[in-house]
Structure 1
Amino acid sequence: MRIAIFTDTFLPQINGVARTIGRLADTLTRNNIPCVVITPETKFQGQRNYELLVSPGLSLPFYPECLLSIPNYTETFQKLNSFKPDLIHVATEFSMGICGLKYASTTGLPIVSSYHTNFPQYLSYYKVEIIAMLAWKYLRWFHNMCLKSYCPSKSTLKLLKQQGIKNLEIWGRGVDTELYNPAKFDFSFRKRFGQNKKLLLYVGRLAPEKDIDILMKSFQMLNKKHRNSHLVIVGDGPLRQKLEQSAPPNVTFTGYLHGDELSRAYASSDIFVFPSTTETYGNVVLEAMSSGLPVVAAFSGGVRENLVNRINGLACSPRNVMDMVTAMERLITDETLRKELSLQARDHAMTKSWDTIFNKLILSYQEIVCLHNKVTA
């Protein structure tokens, strides 16, 4: 079996889609399943055993991590014909996804898709919610062109089903429990912010759809009672400059962190805070849990896949400042509860094996290819 993956975002871009597709490509080749990734231009220079086909790309104004590309169809198709894929996987719905649809239609190959990002929900944050219906109409057409559409969580599957998208299957997410590990604790990281401070950590894009305004309002209220806390914000995005200008002194913006540097930030903090209500899964929530952090998060969307209230974190009502303040305050003041949730967060993450997640996907691939081959024989 040979797999061709079309995606508008890829490593080293910092987002869940790029990281998941990169891990998928690594896993396929490690299982002796040749694959090729077709993507806009990338600066990825890491080790890989799979082929990359790249085209020039332009950043989307509201989502710069995702590039729009105008692929050279003739050149791309010639290279793919030489590769001889058995299955096409379109991971995004923009230009590279359209290219994948076109190639599958031209060759008669089976095609599957995956849904990673709730773009229609993002539209209201950018004051263009009027086109949400058109966005869903497009996504419905795109995904229903495929034999299977994979989504990361039960809540996302329910949403897509309500929007008329068919042939849905859950392709969950795992976590690297060796990389994201409480053992990565680094005293020097904590020392930067004050030895006796309670460190609250946020990891993610600094963009309107992440509800970062709720986090900042909540922390400012928390500051009125608990000046011994410090908020560390890991990430970047269009709101960073504005946030830095208005943030109190006990907020630090680090920009994006990678690899061991990121895992040390997780393991050296006390509480993970995450206000986003638009997640299809929420990979960072699972990374935080794997690092032994109790989570304070909006109980919405894909976050519900992992957050169990009072078991591995505290759930808040979506976009509710007082709920988030109360939850943060409780974990700051109740050390026994914080330690209990920390241990149980790590235990939960240990059940989320990437091998299990990908083995299920590969089995689904094989079933689709076998069925296609029987039908076309």
Structure 2
Amino acid sequence: MRVAIFTDTFIPQVNGVARTVGRLAEALACRDIPCLVLSPDTGLQGKYPFEFNFSPGFDLPVYHECKLALPSYPGICKLMEQFRPDVVHLVTEFSMGLCGLKYSSSYRIPTVASYHTNFPEYLSYYRLAFLTNWVWKYMRWFHNQCLINYCPSEATLKQLEKKGIRSLDIWGRGIDTALFNPGKRDFLFGDRVGAAGKTLLLYVGRVAPEKDLDILMESLRILNAANRDVHLVITGDGPQADVLRREAPPNVTFTGYLHGEELAAVYASCDIFVFPSTTETYGNVVLEAMASGLPVVGAYSGGVKENLVNRFNGLTCRPRNPGDMAAAVLELIENKGLRSLLASQARSYTLTKSWESVFNKLIEGYCRAIAGGNKLISA
């Protein structure tokens, strides 16, 4: 089996899609499955066990962490002729994904796609809601040409089903419980952010309107008005970061993007993970927080519902309800026994989330697509 992956985001870019695709490429290589990743130029350097090919590209105007590629279709065809893929995996629906779809359709290569980002839902956050129906029409056209369409969560699958997208299946996510581990706690972290003795709340993710951070900041104001000793750590960056830095109260620390051991240490050094986003297709950071031994207080919406179980590994809130979020945080501050129980159960829950089984299922799907695609081609 030979796999070509078309994506508009790839490592070392900092987002859940890029990191998942990077893990996938490594997992295929570990199984001696030749893999070629085609993406915009992300600046990746060094030796890797998989092949990659970059196209020129430019930053998206409102999403600078991702690029829009300008691939040369004749060049891609020549590259594919040399690589000779058995299956094409389309990770994103724009530029590179569209190029991959044109190639696989033209040369009748079995094709699967995965849905990672709720772009249609993002539009309202950028005053572009009038485009929503058109974007869903495009998504239907794109995905319904693929043999399998993978979703990261049951909630996302149901959403796509309602929108008329067919051949849906679940491709979940795993977690590296060795990296994200309560043992990475830095007991001096609170001192360094000026929050010694305070309850440390943590948000990790893109700092952007679609993450509903206005709800998180309003929740913090409610907690501050109640004279609670809390301190919020925001780890990430994005278009809303400058505004939040200017407007945030003194008990907020912005770390910017962190990676690897630094990121793991921040997770393990905080007390409660707060996640207001209602637009997630999965929410990788929720699993990272749980693996680090943090109870999660999150909006019960979208892909977050895949892992957040109320009063088992965290507390759920009504979507976009700052009062609910503040009340849940307050309960965990006042009830340390509950907080400890939820933290322990959150960690135990993630120990069942193996990347190995996640990738094995996807590779089985590739085999089904190849078998099904070959039958269609021979017919």
TMscore range, shorter length: over 0.9
Q: For residue 162 of structure 1, what is the aligned residue in structure 2?
A: 162
Q: Deviations 1:332-374 (Å, cap 9, x if unpaired)?
A: 1111010000000001111111001000000110121123334
Decide whether the 8 Å contact of 2:147 with 2:373 is kept in 1: no
Q: Which position in structure 1 is the counterpart of 2:272?
A: 271
- 1:75 alignment partner AA: G
Task: Please give the secondary structure, in 2, of the residue aligned with 1:302.
Answer: helix
Cα distance in structure 2, aligned partners of 1:248 and 1:375: 60
Asked if structure 1 preserves the Cα contact closer than 8 Å seen for 2:87 and 2:366, the reply is: yes
Question: Which amino acid in 1 is paired with 2:192?
Answer: R
RMSD: 1.0
Q: In the aligned structure 1, how far is the partner of 2:90 from the partner of 2:11?
A: 16
SS of 2:39's equivalent in the other structure is: strand
Q: Which moved more, 1:227-236 or 1:367-376?
A: 367-376
TM-score, normalised to structure 1's length? 0.98
2:53 corresponds to 1:40: no
- In the alignment, does 2:191 pair up with 1:191? yes
Q: Is the 8 A contact 1:93 1:139 kept in 2?
A: yes
Which segment drifts farther, 187-196 or 283-292? 187-196
Provide the C-alpha distance between the structure 2 equivalents of 1:252 and 1:300, rounded to a whole number of angstroms.
26
With the length of structure 2 as denominator, give the TM-score of the two structures.
Answer: 0.98
The answer for the alignment partner of 2:94 in structure 1 is 94
CA distance, structure 1, for counterparts of residue 334 and residue 245 of structure 2: 27
Alignment pair present for 1:225 and 2:226: yes
Q: Does residue 74 of structure 1 match 2:88?
A: no
- State whether residues 59 and 66 of structure 1, in contact with CA within 8 Å, keep that contact through their aligned partners in structure 2: yes
What SS does the corresponding residue of 1:45 show, helix, strand or coil? coil
SS at match of 1:304: helix
1:144 to 2:182 alignment: no
The answer as to whether partners of 1:53 and 1:76 remain within 8 angstroms in 2 is: no
Whole-Å separation in 2 of the counterparts to 1:47 and 1:25: 13
Mapping for residues 147-296 of structure 1, pairs under 5 Å: 147-193=147-193, 194-296=195-297
2:8 maps to which residue? 8
Residues 59 and 68, structure 1, Cα contact 8 Å, conserved in 2: yes
Corresponding residue number in structure 2 for 1:120? 120
Residue of structure 2 equivalent to 1:60: 60
- Alpha-carbon contact 1:39-1:96 (below 8 Å) kept: yes
The percentage of aligned residue pairs carrying the same residue is: 59
CA contact (8 A) 2:231 2:251 kept: yes
CA–CA distance in structure 2, aligned partners of residues 331 and 224 of structure 1 = 17
What is the CA deviation profile of residues 312-350 of structure 1, one whole-angstrom value per residue up to 9, with x for unaligned ones? 000000000110010011111111010000000001111
Tell me how far apart the structure 1 counterparts of residues 46 and 343 of structure 2 sit (CA, whole Å): 33
Q: Partner residue of 1:339?
A: 340
**Contact 1:215-1:275 within 8 A present in 2 as well:** yes
How far the C-alpha of 1:227 sits from its partner, in A, is 4.0
Relative to 1, partners in 2 of residues 1:142 and 1:375: Cα closer, same or farther, differing over 3 Å?
A: closer
How far apart are 1:240 and its partner, in Å? 0.6
Residues of 2 paired with 1:88 and 1:226: CA distance? 55
User: How far apart, in 1, do the equivalents of 2:152 and 2:229 lie?
Assistant: 37
Structure 1 window deviating more from structure 2 (38-47 vs 51-60): it is: 38-47
Q: Is the 8 A contact 1:38 1:54 kept in 2?
A: yes
Amino acid at match of 1:144: N
Q: Is the 8 A contact 2:63 2:239 kept in 1?
A: no
CA positional deviation for 1:37: 0.3
Alpha-carbon offset, residue 64 of structure 1: 1.9
Contact in 1 for aligned 2:110/2:374 (Cα 8 Å): no
* Separation in 2, partners of 1:247, 1:373: 57
- Partner in structure 2 of residue 31 of structure 1: 31
Shift of 1:375: 4.4
The one-letter code of the counterpart of 1:229 is V
* Distance in structure 2 (CA, Å) of the matches to 1:367 and 1:312: 35
The one-character-per-residue Cα deviations of 1:97-146 (angstroms, maximum 9, x if unpaired) are 01001110121111110000000100111111011000000000000011
The 8 Å contact of residues 275 and 297 in structure 1, kept in 2 or not, is answered as yes
Amino acid at match of 1:343: S
| SS of residue matched to 1:220 | helix
Distance in 1 (CA, whole Å) between partners of 2:45 and 2:337 is 45
Cα distance between partner residues in 2 of 1:188 and 1:57 = 42
Rounded to whole Å, the distance in 1 between the matches of 2:22 and 2:104 is 22
**Equivalent AA in structure 1 for residue 253 of structure 2:** T
